[in-house]
Structure 1
């Protein structure tokens, strides 16, 4: 009797393990498919197709259209999650800057890291412009992204901001505007400047704001 009970337990346990493995495998395949769909949208956006249809994304990912809608409620949700994915992937580009380092070095590091981040996310960020006003979820995602960048810059220049407490709020806002993606995009697209030139403009702006001295004549 004891042997039969033990065998029954083994069979039950084996079945449970097998079912768990099967479930985990299905979940992993689903996650791979979901990621493939997101990457397909990002690839299309990087190629200049800012608002690809679900059908175009499905074809790029090599999946059926119904698969796209199985993983995403609608195209807006797909774009929102693609933006989140891209921002997470490139979030490490904003590495902490030592606030005790030389100011010139900090300005250089902040300008360089902003350049790398903005150049990486510009395609999907441009696509998100269409949804920011109409989608609360997209607007919230962009708000969080701006906050991460704002906190990064604030930490880098904490010493200077503390010394200028009288006009700290205005200075903080000016630095926030100067280091925003919107400002970067204006320089790159409307002024038609190269990434290297835009980085120099950003560094010059930060220097003038933080020191109160202009270097434009140098």
Structure 2
């Protein structure tokens, strides 16, 4: 009678390889995020491999190209950003909630700024990165308009101005070109929003 083949050792080997693969993948993503957060806009695959302490072939085994690595980083950053934006608002009026939302956008933009700068370096040759930011702008607009009362939402000029004030570009201009600290940039944006909605008492 033929004895059944004991496959347990093979399963353990496969499971060990899978765990090592998952660990390497996480290390590669973490390494890329550390390099970008440190100010390197367009790190090479060699830099990522060195920081993650893995071989160059391992990087490309998990990520066929650098664009796919940015795709995974975008997913990680997206989770962090959504955690900020999706917390319940506490304001009693739509004006208070709008100002609170402006503060949330500021925090989210500060988190994503290093990765946005790096993504811009690749956007011209990456369909994903270009489309990813377009989706972010669309989501930001939806969040803004959902929080406005109908009478204010019908004032398209005011809505467009609010969308501009609460955009990443406005935040980046204050932080980079005008050299403001995060707290000062947030204060300036909130002051401008207050001026724009002054006199709009509609609930």
Query: What is residue 181 of structure 1 aligned with on the other side?
Result: 168
Moved more, 183-192 or 31-40: 31-40
Distance 1:95 1:164 in 2: 22
Aligned length: 200
Contact 1:187 1:198 in 2 (8 A): yes
C-alpha displacement of 1:88:
2.1
> Structure 1 residues 45 and 100, CA, compared in 2 at 3 Å: closer, same or farther?
closer
Question: Residue 133 of structure 2: which of 114, 124, 142 is its match?
Answer: 142
Structure 2 alignment gaps of length 5 or more: none
Question: Residue 26 of structure 1: which of 13, 17, 28 is its match?
Answer: 17
The answer to whether residue 51 in structure 2 is matched with residue 63 in structure 1 is no
Query: TM-score, normalization: structure 2?
Result: 0.84
Query: What is residue 92 of structure 1 aligned with on the other side?
Result: 83
Distance 1:163 1:24 in 2: 59
> Structure 1 residues 147 and 166, CA, compared in 2 at 3 Å: closer, same or farther?
closer
Distance 1:35 1:27 in 2: 12
C-alpha displacement of 1:28:
3.5
Query: What is residue 190 of structure 1 aligned with on the other side?
Result: 177
Distance 1:72 1:85 in 2: 15
Structure 1 alignment gaps of length 5 or more: 214-218
Question: Residue 108 of structure 1: which of 99, 107, 120 is its match?
Answer: 99
C-alpha displacement of 1:26:
3.2
Query: What is residue 40 of structure 2 aligned with on the other side?
Result: 49
> Structure 1 residues 145 and 22, CA, compared in 2 at 3 Å: closer, same or farther?
farther
Give the 3-state SS of the residue equivalent to 1:48 in structure 2.
coil
C-alpha displacement of 1:125:
0.8
Contact 1:150 1:176 in 2 (8 A): yes
Give the 3-state SS of the residue equivalent to 2:124 in structure 1.
coil
> Structure 1 residues 22 and 100, CA, compared in 2 at 3 Å: closer, same or farther?
same
> Structure 1 residues 24 and 205, CA, compared in 2 at 3 Å: closer, same or farther?
farther
Query: What is residue 216 of structure 1 aligned with on the other side?
Result: none
Query: What is residue 152 of structure 2 aligned with on the other side?
Result: 164
Query: What is residue 205 of structure 1 aligned with on the other side?
Result: 192
Query: TM-score, normalization: structure 1?
Result: 0.79
C-alpha displacement of 1:212:
5.2
Distance 1:36 1:24 in 2: 18
Structure label with greater radius of gyration: 1
Aligned-pair Cα RMSD in Å: 2.6
